[in-house]
Structure 1
């Protein structure tokens, strides 16, 4: 059981690391990896729904959950912007005719 948790944590760290490095260089693949990591990890780590609203833990967990939800929204915005910008197409230059 301990080994499985260790492998899961290592995979999550590697996933976030690779996604972060790719995202720094402007890759949408990196943004997709980070978004997927946010979708999987956020509800597990910040389980505010298991606490009463009057408890202190509820406020702290809900705050962190909301922050991660905002980060997910920013990643989705980045992905949307990258996909909406038309890519430059290489135009073949027409050969110039020489006039004498």
Structure 2
């Protein structure tokens, strides 16, 4: 084998290994997203409702549903749902009400 071929194979192996994310890195990113979403939430006793939806890096967002209770007196502790969009690059979370979103259209 030529030295250039061996060098190319070695560099490819190193580059592939360097780009691979560890499970610890994914867990840290999930924790940062959940913490940021919970902080941005307007609900009380807020908890994640399921696992995050991870969009492609070209989009750069992850989404997470949150469940909790409305704190306003006129809402009478009603259960609520919010959708959190988390921008991975800036680590910024934005939430919006998600109570009235229907999953199945009415006939």
The answer to whether the superposition gives a TM-score over 0.5 is no
Normalized per residue, the structure richer in strand is: 2
Q: TM-score, normalised by structure 1?
A: 0.28
